[in-house]
Amino acid sequence: MMRHFLGHNAGALGARLALLAAVVAIFAALSFGYGNATRIQTSLQEAADRILQKNDWDWQVPKRASGSWGRIFSGHGIQRALSAVVTGGGGNRACIIALHPDATRSLSLYAGARIDMPDCEIHVASSNPYAVWTEGTSSITSERTCTAGGFAHRLASTGGPDAAPPCSPTKDPYAQLAEPKVRVCTHRNERLVGARRNYIAPAVFCGGLEITDGASAVFGPGEYVIKGGDFRVDGHSLISGRRVFFYLQGDETELVIGKDTTVSLTAPPAGPFAGILFHADSSNRRTHFFDSNSAALIDGAFYFPAGKLSFNSDTTIGAASNCAQFVASQIQLNDETRIRLYGDHAACPRAQPQKRARLVRREE
């Protein structure tokens, strides 16, 4: 519902005054000779973006440029109307979120790695000048790339649209997620080996879980806890499951998915862990590896709030996934990894559409 900024149905007075102060500050600075029309748009959008992080209302400020303002807004003396429109809750989902507040290369792409998701946003919280790093022939294509820091492109690498910091990255969308209640161990040092099909029910794997040497594991719907050891899949093995959730407990547990594997997993559509495939607890600062060369369907979030997520695949990841999401302290793509995400993200559990400011200038 559109609310006019100075109308009778506007939002809370404090929020209105904060936004008005931001706009007035921008125009006041310009009155003393600072900036130009481009910087007006950038500054106004940044101010609106920040306030929208905390408010769910829209506003509109029409202003006819005249006199000295006309010269500012038009290099040719053409009178224009500047309309700043902020839309609450209308953006796309953030499909990649790097949470570290100040790391260099918080999101990094090397060699021929690619991110291809024109309907998804990328958010990088780091304020470091090299928060987003691309090199080689790597590339980023996204609906928006938002970082509090800077971009660094090396060799032939390229960034994405809106790759002009600063902006206000989204906060951790799962910060309030409750960790599962871990039951007693049902399996210890479990290792599935050989070309056979294994059906697995929800369980607690103490000492880790290894699937190797051509083994096939089908996980039934439910919650799986791995603690005190790695969740490792390699050796031409296959794992699959629908409506599954994996929790990596403790600082000694890593996710290690090798290249020569096949992965097909979907997260629960409802419940306390709706939309989440993998979750490492907040004490886990390990690097987690997802290198599978056959992982078209990974519908759900990878959530490693204190850990690093590394991709070393030679092919495309997520091509058949509507709801894949990667949230980690740092995220790195190597080799020829290509993350390709298309689809109707609004239908995903915890869709989290991003609030975003849009500025429109029209000539008269």
**Ordered per-residue pLDDT tens for the chain, 364 residues:** 333 333 334 344 444 444 444 444 444 444 444 444 444 444 454 554 554 444 443 333 333 333 443 333 334 333 333 333 333 334 568 999 999 999 999 999 999 999 999 989 999 999 999 999 999 999 999 989 999 999 988 877 777 545 455 688 999 999 999 888 888 999 999 999 998 899 999 999 999 999 999 999 999 999 999 999 999 999 999 999 999 999 999 999 999 999 999 999 999 999 999 999 999 999 999 999 999 999 999 999 999 999 999 999 999 999 999 899 999 999 999 989 999 988 677 778 776 655 554 444 444 4
Token pair 């003393």: residue: 32
Q: For residue 119, give both structure tokens.
A: 């309907």
Cβ-contact 64, 100 below 8 angstroms: no
Count of residues making up the chain: 364
User: What's the CA angle centered on 127, arms 23 and 107, to 5 degrees?
Assistant: 120
Alpha carbon distances (Å) from 45 to 42, 51, 59, 85: 5, 10, 12, 9
Chain centre distance of CA 127? 16
Closest of 128, 157, 162 to residue 145, by C-alpha = 162
Q: Are strands 151-153 and 197-200 parallel, antiparallel or unpaired?
A: unpaired
Q: Are strands 356-363 and 80-87 parallel, antiparallel or unpaired?
A: antiparallel
Quote the CA–CA distance of 268 and 276 in Å, as a whole number. Answer: 7
SS3 content of the chain, % helix, strand, coil (to 5): 10, 40, 45
What is the pTM (predicted TM-score) of this model? 0.75
Closest of 313, 215, 328 to residue 278, by C-alpha = 328
